[in-house]
């Protein structure tokens, strides 16, 4: 026959009292924790699905091929840009679409792609490329001050030579020869002397010196 233990009974009664007060809250906390685990797994699964779908679309875009129908390329890029705007695939699709648009002399669409990149891309290097290309379009349109504003934006050291070179071109177009020389010299400081680009910038600088 089991003996009655007052101390044990007191513990049981205390547990019952605690459960009456906090039982519902405990269930909610546990349920929330379990839901959090499954919710995290579901979110990861969703993200993987999104990435896989974006990758498939990007492969399809590449298969169209640059030089083919710019509209087809633009339509494929738009699916990525609208459906998966935060993915790296969308940013690269925008660049491909911009290049195809320029090949087709559709400057406005190319400009739209570059501007989309500046707003939506999280990749600094791609934004540097977009800013550089957009500044080049502005130079062609004689929007010199707008081009300079873009070129004076913060950019990667890797692109410093290209930015300096184009800045020199814009300043020459503005007839600001002294500042153009400074820009070309800065560009040459950032470019490998064995690079063909270095020789091109050197020729531009030499031409300015001769016309001094």
> Which tokens is 191 given?
């470019």
> Which tokens is 131 given?
């800013």
- What is the model's pLDDT at position 152? 94
Domain ranges of the chain: 18-122, 145-212
Q: Which tens digits make up the pLDDT trace of 139-149?
A: 999 999 999 99
> Which tokens is 169 given?
């071109």
Determine the average pLDDT of the residues in 101-111: 90
Report yes or no: 110 and 101 within 8 Å, Cβ to Cβ. Answer: yes
Write the DSSP symbol of residue 95. H
Q: Which tens digits make up the pLDDT trace of 24-45?
A: 655 555 555 555 554 444 434 3
In the block, which residue shows the tokens 């003996």?
3
Alpha-carbon distance of 127 to 120, in angstroms, equals: 9
Task: Please check the confidence at residue 63 and state whether its pLDDT lies above 90.
Answer: no
3-state helix, strand, coil in the chain (%, to 5): 80, 0, 20
């Amino acid at each position: 026959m089991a003996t009655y233990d007052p101390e044990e009974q007191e513990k049981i009664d205390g547990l019952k009292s605690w459960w009456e007060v906090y039982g519902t809250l405990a269930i909610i906390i546990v349920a929330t924790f379990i839901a959090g685990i499954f919710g995290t797994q579901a979110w990861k699964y969703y993200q993987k699905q999104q990435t896989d779908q974006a990758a498939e679309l990007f492969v399809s875009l590449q298969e169209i091929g640059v030089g083919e129908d710019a509209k087809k390329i633009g339509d494929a890029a738009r699916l990525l840009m609208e459906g998966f705007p935060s993915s790296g695939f969308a940013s690269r699709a925008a660049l491909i679409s911009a290049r195809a648009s320029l090949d087709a002399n559709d400057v406005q669409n190319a400009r739209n792609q570059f501007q989309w990149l500046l707003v939506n891309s999280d990749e600094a290097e791609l934004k540097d490329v977009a800013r550089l290309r957009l500044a080049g379009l502005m130079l062609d349109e004689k929007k010199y001050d707008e081009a300079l504003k873009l070129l004076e934006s913060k950019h990667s050291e890797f692109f410093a030579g290209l930015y300096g070179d184009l800045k020199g071109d814009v300043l020459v177009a503005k007839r600001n020869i002294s500042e153009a020389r400074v820009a070309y010299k800065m560009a040459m400081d950032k470019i490998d002397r064995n690079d063909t680009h270095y020789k091109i910038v050197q020729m531009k600088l030499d031409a300015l010196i001769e016309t001094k």
